[in-house]
Structure 1
């Protein structure tokens, strides 16, 4: 059969289906008042309108079609929310009606069929697991118990940088390494050094997990035909390979923790969860909630959410401060004035650094680590701005667009920490103009763990060294572009290269 003949018969079969699809859409519009939608292309919907930076593409579309708009990714209806008022409708007024997550195959496989906290659909089991995480795993008391880990790893990083005085340092690489080491030790109770799973393999695995977490499969968008593309593109095989590596790592460290006679120097996250599992089994028997797979799924959430969030905040903050020497000096004067000649910033010093906290807050506003909050799914009918949202509709909140909206922020593209002086807006989910960690029932339960790591890392960068751009670069030469791709996080497109200049306080510490 010729190519022309094949295309003719394919068109002959598809046209009736497309007409039927259009008829159903028209009927839906008559029955419900749906949000405005950009023009769609048959079969693929609006997928062609998502560029390399989806949060930026959606922001541009929202300026034309409004802060609540409807897109179709193949067969999947997605409502995109791009204003604080509309976000409040989702996260507060109608939180219960849309607090579920879509059951996507890729992340479902990595989370042992949605046994985690971040990606699991709403259910009674999810509520109980989140309660355990909030009260036992990510509580302030628990996070503070790992202070020694953070301070040791940050100290090791500062010592490493001190050996590169007057030489360019890849700050991006260094910060990710420190953040990863902190999470690795907090979760597993041991360092990369001496571990069978080395640092390079670990970062490669976390990167692969982030890609899977940020993607739909073609079968989900185009049921009946998408599996062919998934097979050809290698999507299914990639998901399975990532899962097997992840499972092998988690199983290995759990087995190590269960070995009789194991020496336990400090209690880590796996110790905590295994202890809770044992208590539940003793009390509830076969009805115990926590299983080994639940533990593995929560560990996945820690790696996926903890490493990038802390590291990216520090990287973007350093980039902005180097571009603004006046702000850099103000921040350094504060931290050096408070810490004095101790040689290191300790966690107990952080509460005495108000301007430092403003820098973290402004960085989270201008460069939210997750620009598009994790997708929600409506489980019952409700309205946003008088538009009908039907069950099964996905809801995407564009936190990046809201944080740069001139309706809420003066000169929103400017890095200006002072905007938060005498400003009660915070990032903990109660102020809908600033949502780097989400809000409502699906807000991030590990905010304190992420922010204290960022604060400690950044404070020591500012305290221990002066910084300049390498090779005579000027502040205006810095590349501040965001990296495109499938990852859910907002990475800087090019690594941040800076030259540390020796600091007398640091020199005293080393001596």
Structure 2
């Protein structure tokens, strides 16, 4: 009776899903233990479930879940999140060893789901694969954006932004008005970072700050859902069908704002005596003989990374 109410397409789809699940459930039972690898090859790991691995250990608060696991299994923890593998490091000494001694072994970062279909792709510094672009941007950031000299030069700008933030809080307290601290803190961090990198403020208008805050929130939500689908291998294509267009739309909304920031910076670049980080990036953008040839997408992707910091 049940079969009579199903179309052929529904029946074949059900069979495919059942077969897919059965393969994952039964595969571990018939898998022979490897003779070349032992349990000593990997750090400690909690018991895993078929298909989902250790996903069931992660709650709404990720850092609390990882802290609980690290307390039980140690500062170096191996997790299997669907088809993805994860190394959790909760020790400062181990993190130092990874970033300074074994930095090349951990330099490559996993690609974002369906990043090749997004407007910016992997052009951003945070998602770029380890290579010429990543090394070039890192070199500029370390020598220009985060150098001791540049940080000291930016002390006045950072102080002005902090005073502006505190005055806004005091004014709201005197008037007994509700103040959205998430918006104000985002404005503080973004304006401080933009003044350091671009010698300009990014969020002067209230509606602009709110618009960017909503975009950051929406992009984080879409990214989290897309990454969840990517944990299950072939289902990443399903994640793109569900959330791909939304991710593209969010990026295009960002692009409109970032293009305006970039044009504003180009207009005032001749009025300043000191070069900032974006001036150096624009030089590389215009120089055919630059160490790494960057395009306008690279510039806007870098600005997007600054907004998301």
Specify the alignment match of 2:37 in structure 1: 31
Q: CA deviation at 1:192?
A: 3.5
Specify the alignment match of 1:304 in structure 2: 308
Specify the alignment match of 1:224 in structure 2: 234
Q: CA deviation at 1:212?
A: 5.0
Of structures 1 and 2, the one with the larger relative CO (CA 8 A, separation 6+) is 1
Q: Which runs of 5+ in 1 are unaligned?
A: 306-511
Q: Which runs of 5+ in 2 are unaligned?
A: none
Distance 1:222 1:171, change over 3 A: closer
Alpha-carbon separation, structure 1, partners of 2:276 and 2:16: 62
| Pairing 1:170-185 to 2, within 5 Å after superposition | 170=179, 172-173=181-182, 174-185=184-195
Alpha-carbon separation, structure 2, partners of 1:9 and 1:211: 30
Q: Which moved more, 1:262-271 or 1:223-232?
A: 262-271
Alpha-carbon separation, structure 2, partners of 1:194 and 1:228: 39
Q: Find the partner of 2:285 among 277, 281, 293.
A: 277
Alpha-carbon separation, structure 2, partners of 1:191 and 1:14: 49
Note if 1:11 corresponds to 2:11.
no
Alpha-carbon separation, structure 1, partners of 2:201 and 2:94: 44
Question: Which digits, 9 at most, give the CA deviation of each residue in 1:402-441, with x for residues without a partner?
Answer: xxxxxxxxxxxxxxxxxxxxxxxxxxxxxxxxxxxxxxxx
| Pairing 1:50-89 to 2, within 5 Å after superposition | 50-89=58-97
Alpha-carbon separation, structure 2, partners of 1:96 and 1:9: 41
Specify the alignment match of 2:218 in structure 1: 208
Specify the alignment match of 1:198 in structure 2: 208
Q: Find the partner of 2:158 among 150, 153, 157.
A: 150
Specify the alignment match of 1:121 in structure 2: 129
Q: Which moved more, 1:67-76 or 1:141-150?
A: 141-150
Question: Which digits, 9 at most, give the CA deviation of each residue in 1:283-325, with x for residues without a partner?
Answer: x17x7423222222221222222xxxxxxxxxxxxxxxxxxxx
Other structure's SS at 1:217 match? helix
Q: CA deviation at 1:202?
A: 1.9
Distance 1:23 1:151, change over 3 A: same
> Which structure carries more helix by proportion?
2
Q: Find the partner of 2:298 among 278, 290, 294.
A: 294
| Pairing 1:452-467 to 2, within 5 Å after superposition | none
> When the two structures are aligned, how many residues end up with a matched partner?
296
Q: CA deviation at 1:171?
A: 7.4
Note if 1:165 corresponds to 2:185.
no
Distance 1:216 1:58, change over 3 A: farther
The answer (yes or no) to whether the contact 2:225–2:239 under 8 Å persists in 1 is no
Q: Find the partner of 1:246 among 235, 254, 258.
A: 254
Other structure's SS at 2:271 match? coil
- When normalised by structure 1's length, the TM-score is 0.49
- When normalised by structure 2's length, the TM-score is 0.77
The answer (yes or no) to whether the contact 1:107–1:212 under 8 Å persists in 2 is no
The answer (yes or no) to whether the contact 1:107–1:119 under 8 Å persists in 2 is no
| Pairing 1:311-322 to 2, within 5 Å after superposition | none
Q: CA deviation at 1:258?
A: 4.2
Alpha-carbon separation, structure 2, partners of 1:88 and 1:178: 29
Q: CA deviation at 1:15?
A: 2.4
Note if 1:20 corresponds to 2:9.
no
Alpha-carbon separation, structure 2, partners of 1:304 and 1:151: 22
The answer (yes or no) to whether the contact 2:199–2:276 under 8 Å persists in 1 is yes
Question: Which digits, 9 at most, give the CA deviation of each residue in 1:80-99, with x for residues without a partner?
Answer: 22334543443344222122
Distance 1:50 1:30, change over 3 A: farther
The answer (yes or no) to whether the contact 2:43–2:76 under 8 Å persists in 1 is yes
Alpha-carbon separation, structure 2, partners of 1:28 and 1:15: 23
Q: CA deviation at 1:250?
A: 1.7
Note if 1:98 corresponds to 2:102.
no
Distance 1:249 1:17, change over 3 A: same
Q: CA deviation at 1:103?
A: 1.0
Cα-Cα RMSD: 3.6
Distance 1:231 1:110, change over 3 A: closer
Alpha-carbon separation, structure 2, partners of 1:262 and 1:68: 47
